[in-house]
């Protein structure tokens, strides 16, 4: 699925400033307020807009950031990645095509880095790792970029597979959901209505 020019312009404006009102976005993009509201709503539903957050400055908050590169056996990489998932100091985890894991972490004291490293020593699946402090942030933007050629990879709300052809829309309670085929559409509707009926029964 492709984004249209208005989608792209709205995303660029929002990426600059997520606090703008629909009216302000409409003025900048030169479309109507209802157009902005419906396009933003459907891009939220599609998961293109993941949320609206304040961008904080880690250094001003006294954070020490480090980049870790971790080598494991290919069979262990997922398991090792999962061990870091709940750790608040680990801010980003990337699995790389090189077979390594890259972690971006922010700590508030040097001794917390040492604690972290000693806990890492208990993860036997780690073959070797590299750690370096971030000294200067030269450039740090969001990874997402939007261009008029951006195509959207949707995930089927029923079978969870990626949708590469046309998506089917299901409208439920004023929200649009995307599915990959008529079979998933039927399945999703039955499941959705079932969950809804259950929650109504619980309330009653
Ligand atoms: Zn599907």
pLDDT in tens, 176-192: 889 999 999 999 999 99
The H or E element containing residue 66 is strand 64-72
As a whole number of angstroms, the distance between CA 184 and CA 190 comes to: 10
> Where is pLDDT greater, at 166 or 90?
90
Residues in the chain: 204
* Ligand 1 midpoint to CA 175 (Å): 18
Topology classification of domain 1-52: Arc Repressor Mutant, subunit A (1.10.10)
* Ligand 1 midpoint to CA 167 (Å): 9
* Ligand 1 midpoint to CA 50 (Å): 21
Contact, 192 vs 179, CB < 8 A?
no
126-133 and 64-72 strand pairing: antiparallel
pLDDT at residue 174 above 70? yes
Tokens 């971006």 belong to 104
- pLDDT at res. 92: 97
* Ligand 1 midpoint to CA 76 (Å): 29
Tokens 């492709």 belong to 2
Supply the pTM of this predicted model: 0.78
- pLDDT at res. 202: 66
pLDDT in tens, 51-62: 999 999 999 999
Cβ neighbours around 179 below 10 Å, total: 24
* Ligand 1 midpoint to CA 177 (Å): 11
Determine the average pLDDT of the residues in 74-97. Answer: 96
CATH architecture of 64-133: 2-Layer Sandwich (3.30)
pLDDT band at 195 (very low <50, low <70, confident <90, very high): confident
DSSP tag of 166: P
CA distances 120 to 26, 132, 133, Å, are 50, 15, 17
User: In the chain, which segments carry CATH 1.10.10.10?
Assistant: 1-52
pLDDT band at 150 (very low <50, low <70, confident <90, very high): confident
* Ligand 1 midpoint to CA 178 (Å): 9
* Ligand 1 midpoint to CA 158 (Å): 5
- pLDDT at res. 204: 53
> Which range, 45-54, 78-87, 165-174, has the best average confidence (pLDDT)?
78-87
* Ligand 1 midpoint to CA 169 (Å): 12
pLDDT in tens, 14-42: 999 999 999 999 999 999 999 999 999 98
CA 186 and chain centroid, separation? 28
Contact, 33 vs 23, CB < 8 A?
yes
DSSP tag of 4: P
Contact, 113 vs 64, CB < 8 A?
yes
* Ligand 1 midpoint to CA 195 (Å): 18
* Ligand 1 midpoint to CA 198 (Å): 23
pLDDT at residue 49 above 80? yes
* Ligand 1 midpoint to CA 111 (Å): 48
* Ligand 1 midpoint to CA 182 (Å): 8
The H or E element containing residue 57 is none
- pLDDT at res. 53: 92
User: In the chain, which segments carry CATH 3.30.70.920?
Assistant: 64-133
pLDDT in tens, 86-131: 999 999 999 999 999 999 999 999 999 999 999 999 999 999 999 9
* Ligand 1 midpoint to CA 44 (Å): 19
């Amino acid at each position: 699925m492709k984004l249209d020019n208005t989608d792209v312009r709205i995303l660029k404006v929002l990426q600059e400033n997520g606090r703008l009102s629909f009216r302000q976005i409409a003025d900048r993009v030169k479309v109507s307020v209802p157009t902005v509201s419906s396009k933003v709503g459907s891009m939220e539903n599609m998961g293109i807009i993941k949320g609206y957050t304040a961008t904080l400055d880690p250094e001003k908050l006294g954070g020490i950031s480090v980049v870790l590169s971790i080598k494991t056996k290919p069979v262990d990489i997922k398991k090792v990645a999962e061990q870091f998932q709940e750790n608040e100091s680990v801010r980003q985890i990337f699995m790389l095509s090189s077979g390594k894991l890259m972690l971006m972490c922010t700590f508030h004291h040097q001794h917390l880095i040492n604690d972290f490293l000693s806990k890492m020593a208990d993860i036997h699946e780690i073959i070797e790792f590299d750690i370096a402090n971030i000294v200067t942030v030269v450039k740090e933007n969001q990874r997402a970029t939007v261009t008029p050629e951006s195509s959207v990879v949707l995930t089927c709300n029923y079978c969870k597979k990626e949708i590469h052809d046309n998506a089917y829309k299901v409208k439920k309670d004023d929200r649009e959901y995307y599915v990959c085929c008529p079979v998933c559409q039927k399945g999703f509707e039955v499941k959705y209505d079932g969950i809804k009926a259950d929650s109504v029964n619980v309330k009653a």
